[in-house]
Amino acid sequence: MAAPTSLNSPGEFAERVRESTDRLMAVGVDALGLLFDLTSNRLVRFATALTRHQHDAEDAVQTALVRLAGEPQLLANVQCPWAYLLRMVRNEALALARRKQRCSTSSNLGDLVTRCRVDEAEREESNRAVWSALRTLPPQQAEVVVLKIWEELTFAQIGEILEISPNTAASRYQYGMTKLASRLANMQREVRP
pLDDT of residue 43: 93
Q: If pLDDT is split at 50, 70 and 90, which confidence band does 106 have?
A: very low
User: Does 105 score more than 50 pLDDT?
Assistant: no
Task: Summarize pLDDT for 122-162 with one digit per residue, the tens.
Answer: 667 777 778 888 888 999 999 998 888 888 888 888 999 99
Return the HEC string of the chain: CCCCCCCCCHHHHHHHHHHHHHHHHHHCHHHHHHHHHHHHHHHHHHHHHHHCCHHHHHHHHHHHHHHHHHCHHHHCCCCCHHHHHHHHHHHHHHHHHHHHCCCCCCCCCCCCCCCCCCCHHHHHHHHHHHHHHHHCCCHHHHHHHHHHHCCCCCHHHHHHHHCCCHHHHHHHHHHHHHHHHHHHHHHHHHHCC
pLDDT tens track for 64-103: 988 888 888 888 788 889 999 999 999 999 888 877 754 3
The pLDDT score that the predictor gives to residue 89 is 93
